[in-house]
Amino acid sequence: MGWFGETMDSVKSIQIRQALSQALTLGLIVTSALIIWKGLICMTGSESPVVVVLSESMEPGFARGDILFLHMSEDPIRAGEIVVFNVDGRDIPIVHRVIKVHERKDTGEVYVLTKGDNNDDDDRALYARGQHWLQRRHIMGRAVGFLPYVGWVTIIMTERPIIKYILIGALGLLVITSND
């Protein structure tokens, strides 16, 4: 086989080990991100502990692209709180302020009505057909903090998918070509 053949076998062995090492590193990064996300879900009690404001309906308090941090507790929901909620039949959560709270004395069930700060009318037009109030099951969490404009990265990647693919490709290329 000779010197050249042994050298080629050695190079192939190193390349395979390096590729396996990089794949393992990438797997650890993805796994760590998932563990952190699940940990945040457990700590905050919210199915989505971080959301991005997608419209101007909450200006001037929150601008499009702000990231909100959510927390969901058993405390009663009060008028004036900013909540994130899902409406039956819609995929995208909505960030608005609670303007009215109604509690049924016989069952203890709580119903809330919301409105965007920058909107003229309440949200009944956004709710599912025939629905006039939100129930607690619709509410994902209360806003407890925010980072201004950081969510624009998410908005841009959603509105322009080619940028997302370029970014993922560049990060993949960086992982493949990096030398530990």
Q: Are residues 59 and 82 in the same domain?
A: yes
Q: Are strands 110-115 and 134-135 parallel, antiparallel or unpaired?
A: antiparallel
Say what the pTM is.
Answer: 0.73
The answer on 144 and 157 residing in a single domain is: no
Query: pLDDT digit string (tens) for 22-31?
Result: 788 888 988 9
Q: Which two tokens stand for residue 31?
A: 């796994």
137 and 62 within one domain = yes
What is the structure's pLDDT at 11?
53
Range of the domain at 65: 50-148
65 and 124: one domain?
yes
User: What is the arithmetic mean of pLDDT over 98-112?
Assistant: 89
Q: Is 154 helix (H, G, I), strand (E, B) or coil?
A: helix
Q: What is the CATH number of the domain that holds 128?
A: 2.10.109.10
Residue given tokens 């560049």 in the structure block: 170
From the candidates 46, 57, 66, 138, which is the catalytic residue? 57
Nearest to 88 by CA among 48, 51, 135, 56: 135
Find the angle CA(51)-CA(57)-CA(63) to the nearest 5 degrees.
Answer: 60
Is the predicted pLDDT of residue 17 greater than 60, yes or no? yes
Is 57 among the catalytic positions?
Answer: yes
Is 69 found in the same domain as 83? yes
Q: Encoding tokens for residue 121?
A: 């009318």
Higher-pLDDT residue of 109 and 7 is 109
Instruction: Check whether residue 82 and residue 141 sit in a common domain.
Output: yes
Count of C-beta atoms within a 10 Å radius of residue 16: 10
Respond yes or no: is residue 123 known to be catalytic.
yes
| pLDDT tens readout for residues 127-168 | 988 889 999 889 999 999 999 999 998 899 888 889 889 988
Per-residue pLDDT at 143: 93
96 in active site: yes
Q: 115 to each of 4, 79, 120, 121, 178, how far by Cα in Å? A: 74, 11, 8, 7, 49
Residue 55 sits in the same domain as residue 134: yes
What's the DSSP call for residue 127? Answer: S
pLDDT tens sequence across 50-98: 999 999 999 998 999 999 999 998 888 899 999 999 988 888 899 999 9
pLDDT confidence bin for 10, thresholds 50/70/90: low
- Alpha helices in the chain, H assignment, sequence order: 2-44, 152-159, 161-177
Residue of 21, 66, 71, 123 with catalytic role: 123
Of the pLDDT bands very low, low, confident and very high (cuts 50, 70, 90), residue 173 is confident
The active-site residue, picked from 46, 66, 96, 138, is 96
8 Å CB contact between 95 and 81: no
